[in-house]
Structure 1
Amino acid sequence: FETTYNGYTLFGYQFNPFVYYQVGAKLRLDVGAYIQQDFGNTEFSTVVPTFSLKFKHKNLSAIIGTIEGGLHHQLVEPLYDFENVLNKRIENGLQLLVEQEGLFLDAWVNWEKMIYFNDPDQERFVAGISLSKRLLNTNDWSLSIPIQATVRHAGGQIDINPKPLTSVFASASGFVINKNTSGVIKSFGLKSYFLTYKSLTSRIVPYKDGNGIYINPYVQSKFGLGITGSYWYGNEFLTNDGGQLYPSTTERYPFLVQPTRILYMLRILYEKQLMKGLSLTARVEPFYDTYSDNIQYAYGFYFNFTDRFFLGHAKEN
């Protein structure tokens, strides 16, 4: 996208078959594989095993192994880029989940890179928490308070990598107001966030700290069509894993630093259930960048197929 981000195409498929064994009433073992191939590439871009042990008691879940990552964290886009679902789908580590009416809590550690003695690479991991608490729910109106934070760390003591260690903190907090209706418009509301960024180490970065404002009025129809308008104002803001349109430094021109970043965006999302287990999602996202003074866009089409079938009971001796 002009002076802010290199445009590119993601075209391919992701396949994640797995089997699970119910060890007991509260414990489940999942074993499978994740396969991704980009069309135009004769080799698989990713082939990794998936393994998770899940403990569930009422509304509380604990997972070790392959965790429920990606969009399940419910992070805002300046903290988590939607395209990470396509580029960095699998997360491994430890996760604690609380999911109940009016409350969502997700705390996790995603260990991205393991190192050993004299390793040429740094260890890398991300720790995060995502909390949403509903404070009001009356007459079809609801008010929720989201609080989100991530810390990305790269370093270690047994590697031989000359790069200095880094630890970067980013957070988002705000409010979500929603109104349910009974007509063609299913719901409408406002999602508003204040974001912060802070470098926790002495590594030289363009800015040691920064902040941003992210405002999103939205409307959702009963036909699966949703429209969201977004306003972003970033002040010396950098991001760990968020969308590359938001930070004050760019991927295309790393030496181009924009202390103030202002964006106006329109998101049009359509979701359709085509048949049992098969759904279509279409996204169109034009945006106006005040720095380059032009309108750019992104779009995507996604087919998702999910099915589950019973293999049988384990025999008892």
Structure 2
Amino acid sequence: NTCFTGIIYRMLSTLEGIHPDPEIGFTPPRQILLPGAQNEARKFMLDRLKNKKNNKEIFKAWYDVQNGYEDDESQKIVDDFISEVSIPLMRKLLSITSQYSEQIVLTLMKNISSIKLNKLQCCELVQHMRNKLQEHGLGDQESLLENIGKKVFLELLNRDLLETDFSLKDSSLDGAKRIANKIIIGEVEKFRSEAAEKAREVNSIEVQVDVTLRGLSTLPREKKCCIAYSRLSGQYEGDEREIMENILLKKLEITKKEMNKMLEENDIRKLKLALDDACKKSGKNMEEMIKEVEEVVSSRFSREVSVSNIATESAHL
């Protein structure tokens, strides 16, 4: 197993460094990056899928889970397959002749469900899809091409147009292109609709940022940034907040790092004032108050501001 392999590796590495006997030698595995191990795992899992009667079901569930469409049944199908292949896959990747370190293998196994199994083997078909996207002015949208490729793969699999190794049958290229064309039309329409919606969303957020900054136009940039961020961050979450932050950075002509520093210093000043007030009311000194605050400091401060930062800044303010 992984632990045993690691122990043997370290023992042999030690022997190599201190033992004079030329017959005792060990060549550690050369550095192989994670993508190499992922490709090896993908080949292994595809080989296992060749002879499984429910490989179509597994591919569909795998696609759904990767794209956030999963339900409990899809997740169970994926989990069962991963459980089935995990041990033999690890044995293969950690075998004596393997080139992969145990750290690479462990990283791979933690994220094994992210490996892309639904991959078209036919270069001519992939190029056909790329050309079609270029006709729509979307030739540079690699993620769109990848998503279309997965859907085409699943449709070809469902129609029995793939060989047992999941490559395209020789006589199926024309039919595969027609299937791809139909899927491309739907995906391009969906892509443009989502892009238009996002553009409207960005415009709406930009208007709100402009209105907020207009009311703070007389303030120095640092105060303008802190007040605007405080007002706007409560209105947006997730992707919308990220859009808002990027617009704010652009309007203020500052970097993300500069904004974080401004917000941090502003938070420290606010906490210093709160601590001073609390000290006056409680009769405690600053060190006692900081010790109490340490246990309840907000998640915002835990990002970059330690209690030592607060104490240092407090001494200067």
Q: TM-score range by the shorter chain?
A: under 0.3
Could you say which structure has the higher strand fraction? 1
Provide TM-score, normalisation by structure 2. Answer: 0.19
Higher RCO (CA 8 Å, separation ≥ 6 residues)? 2
Provide TM-score, normalisation by structure 1. Answer: 0.19
